[in-house]
Structure 1
Amino acid sequence: MEILVEDLFGMQREDQDYDDLYESLLQLFLNPINLNKTNPEELQSIFILSPAQINSFFQHRSHFGRILSLYELQAIPEFDLETIYKILPFVVLDETEGKQGPLLDRIKESKDAYLILRANRVLETRRGYTPPDTLANGRLSSRYLGDPNNLYVRFRIQQSRDFSLGFTMDKDPGEQFTWDPETKRYGFNFFSYHFTVYNQGRWKAISLGDFQMQTGQGLVFGAGFATGKGGETITTVRRSTIGIRPYTSALEFGFFRGVAASYQAGPISITLLASNAPRHGNVQVLSDSLERDEAIITSLQTSGLHRTATEIRYKNQIREKNLGANIHFQNNAKNLQLGFNSLLTQFSQPFVRRPQPYNQFEFHGQENQIHSLYFAYNFQNYFFFGESAVSQSRGQGHIFGMMSSLHPKLSLSLLWRSFDRDFHTFYGNAFSEGTRPINERGIYLGLNFKPNRKYNWAFYYDQFTFPWLRFRTYAPSQGYEWLSRFTYSPSRKILLFAQIREESKGRNISEYPRFQSSYILDQGKRWNYVFNLDYSLSQNWSIKSRVMGSSFDFGGKVTRGFAISQDLNVDYQKWRLSSRLAFFDTDDFDNRQFLYERNVLWLFSIPSLHGQGLRYYILGQYRINPKLEIWARFSRTQYTDRNQIGSGLQLIQGNRITEAVIQMRYKFNR
């Protein structure tokens, strides 16, 4: 799992929501694909197999019949041991898969039923937890109302391709654990729940509670696992149509709450959804010349934090209603897909933004509609795909791409996208350079060359433009990005790779001799270098060594940074221990270093390191018995260039920040 995460999240970005991606990856892990019942679309969704490998798998299954053993994968042309090891966590050969007995009995007897309890906190005291100060006007300064503990509860009962039910509860640091209906707080600050059943006759899926949708290329419904640019340069450019999936994350946005159902009628499936979900935001009341009051939304809050009186006022101030539909066609050969998406979104109050030059084409009003057509076609070793959408503003979004195995040793991917500056999609998650598919044009080229089992070279180049202004970029701009990774793995014990990446992107010049204008841009050029070695010392012991560095050239000034880390991991019977020691030294925030870290199950960690100092952590996992498992983690970042960490209410007086995590998982029916 760690190696796959490194491939997919090969170059971390500060604007990427990795918690949701990691959640989706674990969902794939917990719902493995039955190789004897799968189709090309489903196999592609795990982003591991190339078009040639997928095509070769179905040719093998068509010629020899169902797969009898996972060892049989070694006999399939195009499959190598490295690929097989990667997909094993996500596939099964369960020929007994299916419904046995009443649903209630299957729920009671499910072997995949568990309860997770987790608590974590920063041990140092932040300013937000200190006594308030008295201001000049006699009022007290703002402080967090709750304690610094983060509490998390997760309950889940599921059976792959049969049913899933559960709930997730979360209290963030600084939030009160209180029962206050007036402020819509009921113990835990966030509560998510779902009940989903699959394959009930012609009903492919029926979901109640919280859920997400992924269809087409993510212009309308883009939830789920979609990584974009990274160390895997071929398979991640295309989204798969997986339809309805339960929402189980603790993130407080980006999901529907209501009911959804998918009905199969021959080659056509029809999905309908209805949602009425609370949203956090700033709602203000304006009075017009006739002394009439009107409530408007000035901003949406996606942090999910409700620690102060102001943040509590934002909680659930908005209702967001959604009505959606998807019609999906797949031919009998399962190599052609056509589909239609439609989504109507209505807010409880009109959205009126504070006018700024860069956001004048952003969504405003109370209602948005978006509709799209998409297709996917598999011809031999070629995968063609695309989607075109139009929103109520008449802004358009388009994506067209291709993946191909030009040769058994060489794969290619191409993708072109175009998003108008007034293209509005609230649940889109399409391939893009920005965090949202809006105000962007671009073309992407990916290559992967694997001459033999030991060597692999991955490369991509992405050219993009932003036709209109963006935040901190107050003029049309353009840029490019490329990455090259060379991997050498002489055996299963050794994995070595070297990676280099360059990114060029325009942004405002904040300082200019004798004159200052926010509309003068310069190209900021960033270089990143990574050298990594994974080595299995024995069956139980392994190490990981990494050296990474960066430079940033902007406004005629070049700054640099680097980080060196060493991991030591051990797996012994019921124990699993992971540890790391890392040193870092960067000139500024633009050279911050991102290091993926192992953490407790369902918790994802990519700290951003900048300044000077060291970071270390130790993670322990112990399986007490088949039912009970515990984790404990201690991590600390210690700086040598400062005596304060953070700012505002997050300020820590001192040069170190320490976090402790403890988690328990209890498995029922084991």
Structure 2
Amino acid sequence: MNKIGFYILFLLLIDCFKISLGQNIPKGEIDIENFIEDIFGMQREEMDYEDLYEGLLQTLLNPINLNKTNPEELKSIFILNPNQINHFFEYKKKFGDLLSIYELQAIPEFDLETIYRLLPFVILEERNKTNASLWNRIGNAKDGYFIFRHRRVWETRRGFTPPDTLSNGNLTSRYLGDPNSLYGRFRIQQSKDFSLGFTIDKDPGEQFIWDPSTKRYGFNFLSYHFTLYNRGNWKAITIGDFQMQFGQGLVFGAGFSAGKGAETITTVRRSSFGIRPYTAALEFGFFRGTAGTYQAGPIQITVMASHAPRDANLQVLSDTLENETAIITSLQSSGLHRTTTEIRYKNRAREKNLGGNLHYQSKNKNFQMGINGLYTQFSQPFLRNPRIYNQFEFSGQNNHIQSIYFSYNIQNYYFFGESARSASGGMGSIMGMMSSLHPKLSFSLLWRDYSRNFHTFYGNAFGEGTRPINERGMYMGLNFKPNIRYNLSFYYDRFHFPWLRFRVYSPSYGEEWFGRFTYRPKRNTVIFMQVRNESKSRNVSDYNGFQSTYRLDQGIKNNFIFNLDHKLDRIWSLKSRVSASTFKFDGKITKGFAISQDLNADFERWRISSRISLFDTDDFDNRQFLYERNVLWLFSIPALHGQGMRYYLLTQYRLNRKLTFWLRFAQTIYTDRDIIGSGLQQIRGNTITETNFQLRYQFNR
């Protein structure tokens, strides 16, 4: 049967059985909350959520063309398993390009749930394809917008009160600016064609001031970029701020990297998507300069150069001849410049980077391999304050790191790996495999080994730690889906830290396992139960009346979650959740729990989201993470600990096709304290109230 005949028959079958995707597939914005729940499962406070969210935004704004894609691209969105990807390309090989997005349902293993999740990330043809000049395309681009956001905590923090006078007559430190947070983003882009924009940001406590002597020019932070795609053999050329992702993230690791969570198969690997414009407001973790990727047959060549400022604590040393030398004792990653001390750190150091990538892809797109290289030089030598646990960390003025990586797809098996070596001689290696053992059973396996002296500044590889250093581990994931109603996901991870770590003054080990059972009794109802167990070593600080920082004990934490999502009708939906935890350490067991109830409504122009939560935890180790809806492209995952109640109300109003407003009110009321926070962040009282206001203006709509 030819392609047209098959397609006509397919449409007739859809009509006969009344399962038209046009009626069922949502055409609006992606349900970020459910997507995050599926991918991540358990929140971790050390995760860089803002940058991760930006990676998701980049993927949504640059959807994958299903008729021109390859296995690497489809794996990058963590939705399709190897079996589904294999069936997709077998279908295309047999019938040719897809004629309609609805045709996805004809591909084996593509159920409606999978298609719902996939739709926001894919298209069938290039958007706004035209022969107009670049400037005309920029002026007429549909994906252009400006966002302005205001955030504020309304209770007075100690940093905004008048300073006290010390015994020596000096005044105590206080914030120099006001408590308002201001954020703006301008961007115009056309998928696979061009992207340009800037991001500006002022944090609470920072001054809005023009002061070249302290490198402050109105807004405290400015990020900008201009990127062109597909100019002849040049696949990408960028100027300004950017990130890069190649291999498994040992050298260049940026973007949407999920790690361990409820999606136990697809998130173990990283994708080589190359150069990506940087648009977040985080003031570290990006390059500033220029980069380009050139296509030469099956080989892509990428080169980059960066010269970026870095916040740093400098110290001046004098030798016996009274020669003074400035050294970097620490790099600051908070991006905050509220006090005179923090302002003194701003842009004190410079960081130069020169690097590149050589990437080969076979003709059938099933095999890829590449080489990475990055040379980094600081403006001053980096000498940390010596501690027992950091003696193998980077020191000096220069670092270079090289790696080789590969990925290979054969039927329903996908193999990948990368090995790198830094200037210190430290090695980092990662090897993994994903497989669909059966149409209903998927399996993943990953091994990693990062030396204690492996130094990578832009790595973001899979691991238990926040950086790929001083860790060895083995991860195994399973996913069993007997039918559309039931799904069981599970992983087990065993890890070892060969050298000392912060708060762990001895070599240590740990393990973690996770399980989630999901039940969908009908299309509008989802129920899941989730459990996570983690065992990790930590110093015991109180031992027989004196401080002992060298005795370890295993901290064992158990998390439990029961969640119910139910859509009442086209307007109203409910979400109920109960979460609880226990923590055992040094012979003591503490507990905590939180319950929350959501009520959401969608009136097309108006959208309303609300929640009320009650929480009670014995200590900080039992803090409860609850993902909350917020204004567009803003993350909110408060860590609730102590006793109290939290609630929020979020409204969204679309005035017209161009202008949309968001307003969010959130408040936490504690019943076990009269002071919240510490230091300059301290609030006298038991209530903390925050508002967010945001508007978005979309051009050419």
Q: Say yes or no: TM over 0.5.
A: yes
2:533 corresponding residue in structure 1: 502
Alignment partners' CA distance in 1, 2:649 and 2:54: 22
1:562 aligned to which of 593, 598, 619: 593
1:355 aligned to which of 377, 386, 390: 386
Q: How does 1:388-427 map to 2 (within 5 A)?
A: 388-427=419-458
2:357 corresponding residue in structure 1: 326
The answer to whether 1:176 aligns with 2:207 is yes
CA contact (8 A) 1:33 1:90 kept: yes
2:223 aligned to which of 167, 172, 192: 192
Greater mean alpha carbon deviation, residues 9-18 or residues 479-488: 9-18
- Deviation string, structure 1 residues 172-198 (Cα, Å, up to 9, x no partner): 000000000000000000000000010
What is the CA-CA distance between 1:93 and the residue it aligns to? Answer: 1.3
1:19 aligned to which of 33, 50, 54: 50
Alignment partners' CA distance in 1, 2:342 and 2:546: 38
Amino acid at match of 1:347: F
What is the CA-CA distance between 1:387 and the residue it aligns to? Answer: 0.0
Alignment partners' CA distance in 1, 2:581 and 2:517: 18
- Deviation string, structure 1 residues 579-635 (Cα, Å, up to 9, x no partner): 000000000000000000010012111000000000000000000000100000000
- Deviation string, structure 1 residues 234-265 (Cα, Å, up to 9, x no partner): 00001000000000000000000000000000
Amino acid at match of 2:289: G
1:83 corresponding residue in structure 2: 114
The answer to whether 1:338 aligns with 2:362 is no
- Deviation string, structure 1 residues 257-299 (Cα, Å, up to 9, x no partner): 0000000000000000000000001011111110101000000
What is the CA-CA distance between 1:8 and the residue it aligns to? Answer: 1.6
Alignment partners' CA distance in 1, 2:597 and 2:234: 51
Amino acid at match of 2:631: V
What is the CA-CA distance between 1:98 and the residue it aligns to? Answer: 3.7
Alignment partners' CA distance in 1, 2:122 and 2:643: 44
2:252 corresponding residue in structure 1: 221
SS at match of 1:128: helix
2:402 corresponding residue in structure 1: 371
1:114 corresponding residue in structure 2: 145
SS at match of 1:358: coil
Alignment partners' CA distance in 2, 1:264 and 1:575: 47
CA contact (8 A) 2:126 2:191 kept: no
Amino acid at match of 2:211: D
Alignment partners' CA distance in 2, 1:22 and 1:667: 20
The answer to whether 1:632 aligns with 2:663 is yes
- Deviation string, structure 1 residues 210-244 (Cα, Å, up to 9, x no partner): 00000000000000110100010000001000000
The answer to whether 1:305 aligns with 2:329 is no
Gaps of 5+ in 1: none
Alignment partners' CA distance in 2, 1:368 and 1:585: 47
Q: How many aligned positions are there?
A: 670
The answer to whether 1:525 aligns with 2:576 is no
Alignment partners' CA distance in 2, 1:301 and 1:284: 14
- Deviation string, structure 1 residues 342-369 (Cα, Å, up to 9, x no partner): 0000000000011111000000000000
1:478 aligned to which of 502, 509, 516: 509
What is the CA-CA distance between 1:101 and the residue it aligns to? Answer: 1.1
- Deviation string, structure 1 residues 447-473 (Cα, Å, up to 9, x no partner): 000000100000000000000000000
1:53 corresponding residue in structure 2: 84
The answer to whether 1:619 aligns with 2:650 is yes
- Deviation string, structure 1 residues 49-76 (Cα, Å, up to 9, x no partner): 0000011101111111111111100000
1:69 corresponding residue in structure 2: 100
- Normalising to structure 1: TM-score of the pair? 0.99
1:247 corresponding residue in structure 2: 278
Alignment partners' CA distance in 1, 2:81 and 2:620: 37
What is the CA-CA distance between 1:528 and the residue it aligns to? Answer: 0.2
1:661 corresponding residue in structure 2: 692
Alignment partners' CA distance in 2, 1:121 and 1:278: 28
Q: CA RMSD in A?
A: 0.7
What is the CA-CA distance between 1:131 and the residue it aligns to? Answer: 0.3
CA contact (8 A) 2:606 2:654 kept: yes
1:260 corresponding residue in structure 2: 291
Greater mean alpha carbon deviation, residues 88-97 or residues 184-193: 88-97
Amino acid at match of 1:38: T
1:490 aligned to which of 498, 521, 526: 521
* Percent sequence identity over aligned pairs: 70
Alignment partners' CA distance in 2, 1:40 and 1:527: 37
In structure 2, relative to structure 1, the CA distance for the partners of 1:649 and 1:515 (3 Å cut) is: closer
- Deviation string, structure 1 residues 548-577 (Cα, Å, up to 9, x no partner): 000000000000000000000000120100
Alignment partners' CA distance in 2, 1:24 and 1:37: 21
What is the CA-CA distance between 1:391 and the residue it aligns to? Answer: 0.1
CA contact (8 A) 1:99 1:162 kept: no
Alignment partners' CA distance in 2, 1:112 and 1:245: 17
What is the CA-CA distance between 1:9 and the residue it aligns to? Answer: 2.2
What is the CA-CA distance between 1:96 and the residue it aligns to? Answer: 5.8
What is the CA-CA distance between 1:514 and the residue it aligns to? Answer: 4.7
Alignment partners' CA distance in 2, 1:410 and 1:268: 35
1:511 aligned to which of 542, 548, 553: 542
2:72 corresponding residue in structure 1: 41
- Deviation string, structure 1 residues 157-186 (Cα, Å, up to 9, x no partner): 000111000000000000000000000000
Gaps of 5+ in 2: 1-31
Alignment partners' CA distance in 2, 1:4 and 1:623: 23
The answer to whether 1:102 aligns with 2:133 is yes
Alignment partners' CA distance in 2, 1:107 and 1:246: 16
Alignment partners' CA distance in 2, 1:646 and 1:233: 36
SS at match of 1:579: strand
Alignment partners' CA distance in 1, 2:129 and 2:361: 23
SS at match of 2:267: helix
SS at match of 2:73: helix
Alignment partners' CA distance in 1, 2:600 and 2:585: 39
Q: How does 1:140-179 map to 2 (within 5 A)?
A: 140-179=171-210
In structure 2, relative to structure 1, the CA distance for the partners of 1:223 and 1:510 (3 Å cut) is: same
In structure 2, relative to structure 1, the CA distance for the partners of 1:514 and 1:178 (3 Å cut) is: closer
Amino acid at match of 1:299: S
Amino acid at match of 2:139: K
Alignment partners' CA distance in 1, 2:144 and 2:353: 31
The answer to whether 1:601 aligns with 2:611 is no
Alignment partners' CA distance in 2, 1:492 and 1:148: 45
In structure 2, relative to structure 1, the CA distance for the partners of 1:9 and 1:96 (3 Å cut) is: closer
Amino acid at match of 1:533: L
- Normalising to structure 2: TM-score of the pair? 0.95
What is the CA-CA distance between 1:31 and the residue it aligns to? Answer: 1.1
What is the CA-CA distance between 1:428 and the residue it aligns to? Answer: 0.1
Q: How does 1:414-493 map to 2 (within 5 A)?
A: 414-493=445-524
SS at match of 1:357: coil
Amino acid at match of 1:371: Q
1:645 corresponding residue in structure 2: 676
CA contact (8 A) 2:127 2:190 kept: no
Alignment partners' CA distance in 2, 1:458 and 1:625: 42
CA contact (8 A) 1:320 1:346 kept: yes
CA contact (8 A) 2:658 2:697 kept: yes
1:572 corresponding residue in structure 2: 603
What is the CA-CA distance between 1:23 and the residue it aligns to? Answer: 1.3
SS at match of 1:551: strand
Alignment partners' CA distance in 1, 2:264 and 2:452: 27
Alignment partners' CA distance in 1, 2:217 and 2:45: 32
2:161 corresponding residue in structure 1: 130
